[in-house]
């Protein structure tokens, strides 16, 4: 299997009927968080179904370049733009780039998310009075 997880593949396949695939032919998609995971799986699926994609990502340049390579390999156009979608000006820049480089926006996949990891405690919490 390629670099994205099998669960991502399952999610994308389960939502990609033949009719939906035909409806993406020639479309232009903006995918936030499109550099890896589910975002990458969606970008690749849409490209294979005939859509050009703009991939918005925070700062994972290597991941974004790999997603771009996969989309281009599928025969579609891939535009990359990095930045933080918490800022309205950046969101406007994403859409402006999609309009100028893809010719518009037909599909928006808002997939960007914050990921965090936490160390677990070695001991169990105790209750007062126990």
Question: What angle is formed at CA 115 by the lines to CA 108 and CA 124, rounded to 5 degrees?
Answer: 145
The answer, yes or no, to whether residue 121 has pLDDT greater than 90, is: no
Whether residue 122 has pLDDT greater than 50? yes
Exposure letters 91-121 (e unless 16+ CB within 10 A, then b): beebeebbeeebeeebeebebbeeeeeeeee
CA distances from 62 to 58, 59, 96 (A): 11, 9, 24
Where is pLDDT greater, at 129 or 78?
78
Show Cβ contacts of residue 87 under 8 Å, excluding neighbours closer than 6 positions: none
Mean pLDDT for all residues in the chain: 82
Question: Does the pLDDT at position 130 exceed 90?
Answer: no
pLDDT number for residue 113: 77
Domain-located, residue 41: yes
CA distance 74 to 92: 28
* pLDDT-above-90 percentage for the chain: 61
Q: What is the pLDDT of residues 5-24, one digit of tens each?
A: 444 444 455 455 555 556 78
Give me the mean pLDDT over the 41-45 stretch.
Answer: 94
* Domain extent at residue 90: 6-110
Report yes or no on 76 lying in a domain.
yes
The reported pLDDT for the residue numbered 112 is 83
Q: Distances in Å between the alpha carbon of 79 and those of 17, 89, 123, 124?
A: 25, 18, 48, 48
Domains held by the chain: number:
1
Q: What CATH number corresponds to the domain at position 98?
A: 3.40.50.720
């Amino acid at each position: 299997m390629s670099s994205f997880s099998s669960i991502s593949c399952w999610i994308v396949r389960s939502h990609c009927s033949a009719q939906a695939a035909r409806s993406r032919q020639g479309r232009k998609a903006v995918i936030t968080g499109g550099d890896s995971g589910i975002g990458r799986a969606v970008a690749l699926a849409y490209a294979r179904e005939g859509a050009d994609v703009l991939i918005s990502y925070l700062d994972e340049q290597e991941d974004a370049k790999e997603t771009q390579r996969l989309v281009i390999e599928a025969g579609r156009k891939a535009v990359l733009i990095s930045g933080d979608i918490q800022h309205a000006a950046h969101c406007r820049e994403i859409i402006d780039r999609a309009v100028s480089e893809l010719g518009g926006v037909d599909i928006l996949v808002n997939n960007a998310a914050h990921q965090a990891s936490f160390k677990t405690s070695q001991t169990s919490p105790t209750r007062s009075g126990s």
